[in-house]
DNA sequence: GCAATATATGGTTAAAATAGTCTTATATTT
DNA sequence: AAATATAAGACTATTTTAACCATATATTGC
């Protein structure tokens, strides 16, 4: 349905929360309570973010999580990849990796006629998801067009 | 997973096929065979496209489908809305309609802190999906950035 | 009128993805 | 040793997606 998963949503909320604490260790329990979802889910999400090097975790009592790089260096694309285990794929046969070297695994049509336009769309989407970072989740007003947003982000 | 559904994919393939026939009636059977999927699915997809006024159908023998407007006036956003019955929603609480008048139906957090940035992302995505039309599915090469693509589309 | 062709529409089923919970193990601090 | 906190996998329920099946309706042409 072209929708972010709940896990991605929780990841963004968690990263936003950690970023707002600017460098101090934050526990999964604290984040879960702040967001209002179960501890287990937040722990799982933070674990996934850690495996991808987005967050750093300190085990043990008084442990917790912190960001491995600044909010402006963590893109939405990074978060989606971390949560889903792979880069986003609008269609099965087009990924961010080795675009020219990809064979269509869908066997329904021998000669795919939408792969090229789909690749264009994928690239546009990818560029967009890469341009948005956790920093943009800190305090930004609502814009209504790409150009307005790009102008603002470039300032 | 932020992926187009198969139905949307079939819809795009069907519309591309109908557009390539430039005005002549095309049957669901012909489209299904051309794409390589079952007749029933294509019939259902075409029916959905018809209900949204994208295609026009002529019933009975020698009947079929044709486009109700030119390929350049049918956006990807239109197609997704037609197939899914509603505009795309990246997150539950942000839609294209009445953005300022929407209440968050998710009850997990009383005070949603990502709605504004999500609305920005939704608007960017929406603008992108609206800017892409069936015409772009006819014969276009592969570009790799938004700016390249926008430049080309504007020519 | 009737057979053939084609769309219209709803129901059913199977598979896959998503969401959430539960359990156990491991690490660190006090 | 107890308390705190992350690590990681198993398990279940729900929802979405995908595909198929069956029947109804409309039009053409003989």
A36-69 per-residue burial string, b: 16 or more CB within 10 A, e: under 16: ebeeebbbebbebbeeeebbebeeeeeebbbbee
B33 and chain A in contact, CB less than 8 A: no
Q: Does A80 map to a domain?
A: no
Task: Collect all residues with Cβ–Cβ distance below 8 Å to B122 and sequence separation of at least 6.
Answer: B89, B90, B91, B94, B95, B96, B99
Q: Which one of B94, B104, B112, B120 makes the best mutation probe of the A interface by having the most chain A beta carbons within 10 Å?
A: B120
Residues B63 and B91 in one domain: no
- Closest nucleotide (C1' vs CA) to B58 is C7
Residue B107 pLDDT greater than 60, yes or no = no
- Lowest average pLDDT, out of A134-148, B20-34, B127-141, goes to A134-148
A73 and chain B in contact, CB less than 8 A: no
Query: What integer pLDDT is reported at residue B83 of this predicted model?
Result: 96
Distance CA B138, CA B25 (A): 18
Residue that finishes a domain, picked among A38, A67, A96: A67
Residues B150 and B104 in one domain: yes
Q: Span A103-114, mean pLDDT?
A: 62
**Cβ count near A116 (within 10 Å):** 16
Asked if the Cβ–Cβ distance from A88 to B116 is below 8 Å, we say no
Q: Does B60 map to a domain?
A: yes
Q: Which domain holds residue B37?
A: 6-67
Residues B43 and B94 in one domain: no
- For residue A121, give Cα distances in angstroms to A21, B36, B145: 36, 23, 10
Residue B144 pLDDT greater than 50, yes or no = no
Q: Which one of B75, B87, B146, B149 makes the best mutation probe of the A interface by having the most chain A beta carbons within 10 Å?
A: B146
Distance CA B130, CA B147 (A): 16
Average pLDDT along chain A: 84
Residue that finishes a domain, picked among B67, B100, B118: B67
Query: What integer pLDDT is reported at residue B32 of this predicted model?
Result: 94
B90 and chain A in contact, CB less than 8 A: yes
A9-25 pLDDT per residue, tens: 999 999 999 999 988 99
Q: Span A62-79, mean pLDDT?
A: 96
Query: What integer pLDDT is reported at residue B142 of this predicted model?
Result: 45
Residues A34 and A93 in one domain: no
- Is residue A20 classed exposed, middle or buried when 0-12, 13-18 and 19+ CB atoms within 10 A define those classes? middle
How many domains does one find in chain B? Answer: 2
Q: What is the CATH number of the domain that holds A39?
A: 1.10.10.10
Residue B101 pLDDT greater than 70, yes or no = no
Residues 42-71 in B contacting A (C-alpha not used; CB under 8 Å): none
Residues B105 and B51 in one domain: no
Residues A98 and A59 in one domain: no
Query: What integer pLDDT is reported at residue B97 of this predicted model?
Result: 59
- Is residue A132 classed exposed, middle or buried when 0-12, 13-18 and 19+ CB atoms within 10 A define those classes? buried
A37 beta carbon to strand C: under 7 Å: yes
- Check: CB of residue A149 under 8 Å from CB of residue B123: yes
pLDDT band at A98; cut points 50, 70, 90: very low
Q: Does B98 map to a domain?
A: yes
Of residues A103 and A38, more confidence is placed in A38
Q: Beta strand A64-67 with B55-58: parallel, antiparallel or unpaired? A: unpaired
Of residues B76 and B96, more confidence is placed in B76
Residues B46 and B104 in one domain: no
**Cβ count near A107 (within 10 Å):** 7
B120-143 pLDDT per residue, tens: 999 999 999 999 999 999 974 444
Q: Beta strand A55-58 with B55-58: parallel, antiparallel or unpaired? A: unpaired
Round to a whole number and report the distance in Å from the CA of A41 to the C1' of D1. 30
Sign of the torsion formed by the C-alpha atoms of A123, A125, A128 and A130: negative
Asked if the Cβ–Cβ distance from A113 to B76 is below 8 Å, we say no
- Taking the whole predicted model, whether its pTM rises above 0.95 is answered as no
């Amino acid at each position: 349905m072209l929708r972010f998963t709940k896990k991605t949503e929780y990841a963004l909320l968690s990263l936003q929360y950690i970023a707002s604490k600017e460098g101090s260790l934050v526990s999964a329990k604290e984040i879960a309570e702040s967001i209002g979802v179960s501890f287990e889910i937040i722990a799982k999400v933070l674990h996934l973010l850690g495996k991808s090097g987005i967050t750093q975790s300190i085990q043990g009592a008084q442990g917790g999580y912190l960001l491995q790089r600044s909010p402006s260096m963590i893109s939405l694309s990074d978060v989606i990849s971390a949560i889903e285990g792979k880069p986003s794929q609008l269609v099965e046969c087009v990924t961010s990796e080795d675009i020219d070297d990809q064979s269509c695994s869908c066997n329904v049509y021998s000669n795919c006629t939408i792969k090229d336009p789909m690749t264009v769309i994928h690239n546009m989407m990818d560029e967009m998801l890469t341009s948005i970072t956790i920093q943009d989740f800190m305090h930004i007003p609502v814009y209504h067009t790409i150009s307005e947003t790009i102008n603002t982000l470039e300032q």
